[in-house]
Amino acid sequence: MKTKQIERVLTPPPPHMVGDGFRVHNYIPSGLGVGFERMDPFLLMDYNSKFYFPPTDKPRGVDVHPHRGFETVTIAYNGKVAHHDSAGNSGVIEEGDVQWMTAASGILHKEYHEKNFSKAGGDFQMVQLWVNLPAKDKMSAPKYQGITNAEMKKVALPDNSGFIEIIAGEYNGKKGSASTFTPVHLLNAKLNKGGKAAFSFPENYNTAVLVVEGSIKVNATDEIKTDGLGLFKNEGEEFTVEATENAVVLILSGEPINEPIAAQGPFVMNTRAEIIQAISDFNMGKFGYLE
Ligand code: MN
């Protein structure tokens, strides 16, 4: 097996607000600056680096909006996110939990800070990924997977290195609970200082690591600091991550779908005609109703 090398280490792009509750660095696609294809099937990564929101009686967030053609995956590291959608699903993503929402044929939802978290104020830190769907699944029925931290499969690492949490896909033969439409591995490495973990993904899988806490060295050479992103080359399979201080690292790797991408705002389809159809369906109220 050949080593998968880092192609680029990025520091966070300037933040912008999504609604009034999410202060995000858009790493994918604008941080990478090379289009949607580079991290296919991951269309978007918005990273709310740790940010203090003061107490408020009116929860901050993003009001009702549509999505079609992909999945939104929200990982809460600090703070709590509440969610409601037009398919009747709702819930609170607590610290360490993950929400996997399949918008597919179309959904309306709203995302905002949980009520008690808003009242108390506090540090807020999360990642939202948009995972594309293959053309044949874009118009399938919406669904919702709430994955609590307690339910997540965890794999202990040797030598008191820490552990791996499997959100989706697998690590060392152990499988995570999220169901995905195409092969996707999504892992949290929670490493103690000096702890090390080895990973192996196929050469063609688009792969990156985001350092959520602490700092790491990849393949004993490439240093990535807090909030930094490491993008891997599409050569080789194996790499190591070593924590140079206690670290939390999000690892994402997925098989590219390799289909045309037509994206506009909250809609991601394969053709321009399908985008026009999505806008028309949304305007005609075909995405359901949400107050
Ligand atoms: Mn949304």
Say how many Å lie between the CA of residue 275 and the centre of ligand 1. Answer: 17
Answer yes or no: is 199 within a domain: yes
Q: How confident is the model at residue 81 (pLDDT cuts 50, 70, 90)?
A: very high
Residue 251, class by beta-carbon neighbours within 10 Å (0-12 exposed, 13-18 middle, 19+ buried)? buried
Ligand 1 centroid distance, CA of 107 (Å): 9
Each residue of 175-198: pLDDT tens digit?
999 999 999 999 999 999 999 999
Give the distance (Å) from ligand 1 centre to CA of residue 180.
Answer: 18
Query: What's the whole-number mean pLDDT along residues 10-30?
Result: 97
Please check the confidence at residue 291 and state whether its pLDDT lies above 90: no
Token output for 19: 């609604």
Alpha carbon of 213 to ligand 1 centroid (Å)? 25
| 198 falls within a domain | yes
Give the per-residue pLDDT at 1: 84
What is the mean pLDDT of the segment spanning 163-169?
98
213: in domain = yes
- Residue range(s) defining the domain that contains residue 228: 6-254
Considering the domain boundaries, does residue 261 fall inside one?
no
Helix, coil or strand: residue 191: strand
Inside any domain, residue 275: no
CA of 50 to the centre of ligand 1 (A): 20
Nearest to 255 by CA among 197, 195, 207: 207
- pLDDT tens readout for residues 98-124: 999 999 999 999 999 999 999 999 999
Q: Residue 147 C-alpha to ligand 1 middle, in angstroms?
A: 18
C-alpha–C-alpha distance, residues 105 and 282, integer Å? 11
Please indicate, yes or no, if residue 278 is contained in any of the structural domains: no
SS3 assignment, position 149? helix
Q: What is the pTM of this model?
A: 0.97
Specify the amino acid at residue 81.
V
Q: From CA 72, how far away is CA 142, in angstroms rounded?
A: 11
Give the Å distance between the CA of 98 and the centre of ligand 1.
Answer: 14
**Gap from CA of 110 to ligand 1 centroid (Å):** 7
Q: Does residue 259 lie within any of the structural domains?
A: no
Separation of 63 CA from ligand 1 center, angstroms? 9
The answer on pLDDT for 163 being more than 90 is yes
In a domain, 150, yes or no: yes
Q: What is the CATH number of the domain that holds 216?
A: 2.60.120.10
Q: How many domains, the chain?
A: 1
Answer yes or no: is pLDDT of 252 > 90. Answer: yes
CA of residue 109 to ligand 1 center, whole Å: 6
8 A C-beta contact, residue 82 and residue 89? no
Q: Which residue has the tokens 């909030």?
A: 227
